[in-house]
Structure 1
Amino acid sequence: MARTPIWRSIADTLSGEIADGHYRPGDKLPTEAQLAARFGVNRHTVRHALSALVETGTIHTRRGAGAFVAQTPTDYPIGKRVRFHQNLRAAGRTPAKQVLSVTTRLASPDERDALALDATAQVHAYDGLSLADEYPIALFRSVFPAEPFPTLPAALAASASVTAALRAEGVSDYTRAWTRLTAKSATATQALHLRIAEGAPILRSVGLNVDADGRPVELGRTWFAGDRVTLTLAEDV
């Protein structure tokens, strides 16, 4: 008579407990040592069970931090008007942004091309982390022409909101001119910020926003954790 492997039984038990709501999305599971004591097995058996749950997308692990219940993917519309806070609230999530850095520097060649700048132009570069329900879902870098927006860095540091910062500079509305999506693998730094494994799938979005007169105001790059966001095409009015 065939017997269920112990590691499979542990994986099924944990999967059932997650499904029953014992652990919520983003919660940390007990340590390998705690699980080994609970089930009366060695840590190698527990590690095998956790690996099986990682393969099914039920949990994810982070070196030195432990195992965490996977988040339910958030619907994130990509359309004419892409607004982070609005998108997350519409999906029933609580949005937040963490400012990583705001700097002013010379524009790179691709930034000059996208923003229609000359060779000596400077830009404001805003790097940050987007969170849903206090959990990271994306890294982003927004680049703005510096000359027309001299006080933008202070506004970004104060509010973390691109929409609010641009409004303070007189840009009442802006729309997406184009968007490009590319599949990538997470670098070590990206993985650290997003709490995913190095090499895990991420989706990079590159987009250009323009004001009501069609002038470029923002070149944005966003790296979404592949298992936490479902990008959808939206028809904006």
Structure 2
Amino acid sequence: MKDVEEMTQAALWSSIAATLRHEIASGSYRPGDKLPSEADLAHRFGVNRHTVRRALADLAEARLVQARRGAGVYVTARPTDYPLGRRVRLHRNLAAAGQSAERKSLLHTTRAADRREAEALGLRDGAPVHVSEGISLADGHPLALFRSVFPAERFPGLLDTLAETASVTAALARSGVTDYTRASTRITAERASPTQALHLELRPGDPILRSVSVNVDPEGRAVEYGRTWFAGDRVSLIVTDDPPKERCPD
């Protein structure tokens, strides 16, 4: 009797998975779309949520869907190509991929620079720096966490402009830096911490990519020390050379 019940359950979740596979393949659910909740799917197919959960697990094993912590289950999107050139601008990169860009601010503050920040920016130990932290989103979905650090004495009003424009390029331009380029980039692989996972809608321990970079003005003076943590399955980092003179807002 137990074997019969198990076979029935397997047939049910397999049928549900097959139906959802067909709907994804036919475009009813497109990459990046959120699937109905477990409760809604259970009601639709007339089964319990455990059966639906098994069907979704089967789709996840096939990398057709991905569960995002606290947000639901989404159809797996094609990773966004994100070029890392001399002039890296968020809006330009995402627009080239046919996506809209947005920044969600988490923190704007001024504090003393730590050792790494002071070294990267050519400052004395403990010099004041502006810090901007937030989330970069593509089509409304979190793509990366960022932390940007700027020399506060050189750019005293920068945080106010960042809060107004949500653009590093615009904020630096108002402070007299009309162009800047990336002097260096270091990329490493990490595991998402619980806090990072929460912001990026991942599970703790999921793979993320960390980019550490320094941007400089035309005279070679450091204007920004940046760290970015990308959701590993949502981005393909591409090393490229930018045109010699091109400015786009970020």
TM-score of Structure 1 vs Structure 2, range by shorter chain: over 0.9
Q: 2:147: which partner in 1?
A: 141
Report the Cα distance in structure 2 between the residues aligned to 1:42 and 1:81, rounded to whole angstroms. Answer: 52
Instruction: Name the structure 2 match of 1:23.
Output: 29
What corresponds to 1:188 in structure 2? 194
CA displacement 1:10-51 (0-9 Å, x = unmatched): 222212212222123333212222222333333222111111
Name the stretch that deviates more: 70-79 or 21-30.
21-30
Residue 45 (structure 1) aligned to one of 32, 41, 51: 51
Tell me how far apart the structure 2 counterparts of residues 19 and 210 of structure 1 sit (CA, whole Å): 46
Q: What is the distance in 2 between the residues matched to 1:235 and 1:134?
A: 28
How far residue 218 of structure 1 moved from its aligned partner, in angstroms, is 0.5
Asked if residue 220 in structure 1 is aligned to residue 188 in structure 2, the reply is no
SS, match of residue 41 in structure 1: coil
User: Shift of the alpha carbon at 1:73?
Assistant: 1.4
CA shift digits 1:159-186 (9 cap, x unpaired): 1101110111111111111101111111
**Displacement, 1:113?**
1.1
CA distance in 2, matches of 1:231, 1:170: 30
Task: Give 1:151 deviation, angstroms.
Answer: 0.6
CA deviations 1:75-95 (Å, max 9, x no partner) are 110011111111111111111
130, 135, 150: which one aligns with 1:129: 135
Matches within 5 A, 1:80-229: 80-229=86-235
Amino acid of the residue matched to residue 103 of structure 1?
A: T
What's the C-alpha RMSD, in Å, of the aligned pairs? 1.8
TM-score norm. by structure 2 comes to 0.88
Q: Distance in 2 between matches of 1:63 and 1:212?
A: 43
Where in structure 1 are there 5+ consecutive unaligned residues? none
State which drifts further: 4-13 or 182-191. Answer: 4-13
Q: CA deviation at 1:149?
A: 0.4
Deviations 1:139-161 (A, max 9, x none): 10000111100010001000110
The 2-side partners of 1:155 and 1:104 are apart by 14
Structure 2 counterpart of 1:11, from 17, 20, 25: 17
- Between the two proteins, the alignment pairs up a number of residues equal to 236
